[in-house]
Amino acid sequence: MRDRLLPRLLGILSIVALLGAWEVASRTGALNPVLMPRPSLVGLTLWEILVGGEFLGPLGHTLLLFAVGYGLACLIGITLGLLMGASPVIYGLFEPLVELIRPLPKSALVPALFLFLGIGPATMVTVVVLAAVFPVLINTLQGVRGIDPVLLDTARTFQCSRTRTLLSVVLPAAMPMILAGMRVGLGLGLVLVILAEMLAGESGLGYLILDLQRSFQIREMYAWIAVLAAVGGTLAVIFDWMDKRVVPWRGRA
Amino acid sequence: MSARLRLSNVRKVYGEGSPDAYLAFDSISLDVAPSEFVAVVGPSGCGKSTLLRIAAGLAPASAGEVELDGRSVSGPPPGVVYLFQQYAKSLFPWRTVIDNVMFPLEAAPRSERRSLRERCSEYLKQVGLAGFENKYPWQLSGGMQQRVAIARALAAEPRVLLLDEPFSAVDALTRMELQSLVLDLWRENRFTAVLVTHDVEEAVFLADRVAVLSHRPTTLSEVIEVGLPRPRDHIATREDKRFLELRHHLMEALLGRLAPVAA
């Protein structure tokens, strides 16, 4: 217990030290207090935002957009990855296309998407899907490829049909890899949802952070960045929790 | 009596068509009668496991034929269950023990599920795993994992059970326990068993007949009647004069010091 507690305390210490240094630097004028307001003041603003429930609207907006985009990315990535892993024909059909789009920084596609999807939710969802789908797809494919042949032979000797093998053997066996891909996709999706809101949004955390910066409400801007950091951290914790429950055999079988 | 499982002139070439193709084995013919227990022994690398995979319909033969009850085998036929050496990789880690055993029965209609589940509990009891239904395979020891695989094999009600060095990865005592367990189950369920192993004592202890594969180029060099009384016992049977004779002979054959048959 103590072994795990100590590193955690040290981790908190480093954050406290950084905020403390910032606080001192801002008070003494070593940092421009207008551009880098004291963390204590930012904290106060953050408190007001949280207590007033003011954060719920933009947060809900961002989370909804993210959920739709990320959900679609997972659905498409897993389905296509399974099919590409199971069928050489489907693999041959999609592999060049995947390799063409995958290395492209997805943010580069935003201006093009504005042209035919308009400046709005359709573009934003598409960007999130494009960002998150590839890690899920590639990992699913590798997960399917990496399945031990003994497992597939077992299914064959028990007269398991192709569809049933895919759904009740291949899919769960690839799940540890799929979840690893989903974890990468989660981070990328969050980055792109904020970027999309900054470029095309009318609400949401990304829109708000940019808007506050433009109207020079610097303290509020930092407070909302803190909200965003909390969102990222919370999503990561939820993901870890889910991962442990979905693939408890990870590293043990 | 007609054969349950018949191998006729089975031949396997690895990497067929490529320049470094080589002949694994050739002209292997073997008839296994219903409810018979046959062991196949051979030096490592002679292709024993491949032969068994061909018998199971899991791998194609380069030439020759496999028949199950007179019908040619081209893919895994119903009623033939394969027990893998890598039992841990053969179990589904996302399923509980009982759900692993249920796997072969899930094509059955939902209305029968309940009674099938009870049957699977019964199989688990037979392999000594009563009370472990809701554990996961990775929570069990190696020997227990192989017991789960055996219970799952029983659930499929096999006509033929193919055993691919199933006890080679467990410790010596566990191995003996599992050998006795398989013999008991074989006696009760009357399936046909074909065991591939490099452990001559295991072959003699379990089988009615032992087929011996030669060094490369591999072929079937002889088939020996074991003729030891049943039920077999790890202490008494292993001290039997006949057991020691057979062990001696098979060791010589596998180590390449072939002596005249002392049958």
Whole-angstrom distance, CA of residue B208 vs CA of residue A113 = 73
Whole-angstrom distance, CA of residue B159 vs CA of residue A252 = 33
Joined tokens for residue B189: 């369920």
Candidate from A239-243, B125-129, B167-171, B231-235 with smallest mean pLDDT: B167-171
Residue B86 lies in a domain: no
Task: Name the pLDDT band for A125 (thresholds 50, 70, 90).
Answer: very high
For B199-216, what is the mean pLDDT?
Answer: 93
User: Is the Cβ of B186 closer than 8 Å to some Cβ of chain A?
Assistant: no
Q: Verify that B103 and B119 share a domain, yes or no.
A: yes
Q: Do the chains contact at A249 and B138, CB–CB below 8 Å?
A: yes
Give the closest-approach CA distance of A76 to chain B in angstroms.
23
Neighbour-count burial of B25, counting CB atoms closer than 10 A to its CB (0-12 exposed, 13-18 middle, 19+ buried): buried
Size (chain B), residues: 263
Sign of the four-CA dihedral A107, A111, A114, A120: positive
Chain segment A157-215, per-residue pLDDT in tens: 999 999 999 999 999 999 999 999 999 999 999 999 999 999 887 889 999 999 999 99
User: Is the Cβ of B82 closer than 8 Å to some Cβ of chain A?
Assistant: yes
Residue B209 lies in a domain: yes
- Is domain A48-246 in CATH 1.20.1640.10, yes or no? no
Whole-angstrom distance, CA of residue B203 vs CA of residue B187 = 16
Q: Verify that B17 and B58 share a domain, yes or no.
A: yes
Closest CA to B195 of B214, B182, B177: B182
Residues 6+ apart with CB under 8 A from B129: B97, B144, B147, B148, B151
Q: Verify that B71 and B173 share a domain, yes or no.
A: yes
Neighbour-count burial of B205, counting CB atoms closer than 10 A to its CB (0-12 exposed, 13-18 middle, 19+ buried): buried
Question: Chain A to chain B, count of Cβ pairs less than 8 Å apart?
Answer: 55
Helices A218-246 and A204-214: crossing angle, nearest 10°?
A: 160
Q: Verify that B65 and B164 share a domain, yes or no.
A: yes
Chain segment A71-106, per-residue pLDDT in tens: 999 999 999 999 999 999 999 999 999 999 999 888
Q: Do the chains contact at B93 and A150, CB–CB below 8 Å?
A: no
Q: Which residue of B has its CA nearest to A171?
A: B94
Partners of B5 in beta bridges: B32, B68
Q: Verify that B179 and B262 share a domain, yes or no.
A: yes
User: Which residues of chain A neighbour B156 with C-beta distances below 8 Å?
Assistant: 158
CB A196 within 8 A of CB A204: no
Say what the alpha-carbon torsion angle A76, A78, A83, A86 is, to the nearest 10 degrees.
170
The HSE-up count of residue A220 (CA atoms within 13 Å, CB side) is 17
Looking at residue B214, the DSSP 8-state letter turns out to be: P
Asked if the interface predicted TM-score (ipTM) of this complex is over 0.95, the answer is: no
User: Which residues of chain A neighbour B86 with C-beta distances below 8 Å?
Assistant: 148, 150
Chain segment B239-249, per-residue pLDDT in tens: 999 999 999 99
Residue B84 lies in a domain: no
Task: Name the pLDDT band for B226 (thresholds 50, 70, 90).
Answer: very high
Q: Verify that B173 and B44 share a domain, yes or no.
A: yes
Residue B150 lies in a domain: yes
Q: Verify that B165 and B248 share a domain, yes or no.
A: yes
Indicate which CATH number applies to the domain containing B255: 3.40.50.300
Give the closest-approach CA distance of B90 to chain A in angstroms.
5
Residue B119 lies in a domain: yes
Q: Which residue of B has its CA nearest to A172?
A: B94
Give the closest-approach CA distance of A215 to chain B in angstroms.
53
Domain boundaries, chain A: 1-36, 48-246
User: Is the Cβ of B84 closer than 8 Å to some Cβ of chain A?
Assistant: yes
Q: Verify that B167 and B147 share a domain, yes or no.
A: no
Residue B251 to residues A88, A242, B240, B243, B247, Cα–Cα distance (Å): 46, 54, 17, 12, 6
Token pair 């202490």: residue: B235
Token pair 């769960």: residue: A172
Give the closest-approach CA distance of A152 to chain B in angstroms.
8
Structural domain count, chain B:
2
Residue B85 lies in a domain: no
What percent of chain B clears pLDDT 70, i.e. is strictly above it? 97
Q: Which strands make up the sheet holding B22-32, listed edge to edge?
A: B22-32, B5-14, B63-68, B71-72
Whole-angstrom distance, CA of residue A152 vs CA of residue A150 = 5
Q: Do the chains contact at B80 and A151, CB–CB below 8 Å?
A: no
Phi-psi label, residue A131: left if phi above 0, alpha if psi -120 to 50, beta otherwise: alpha
Q: Domain residues for B208?
A: 1-79+159-263
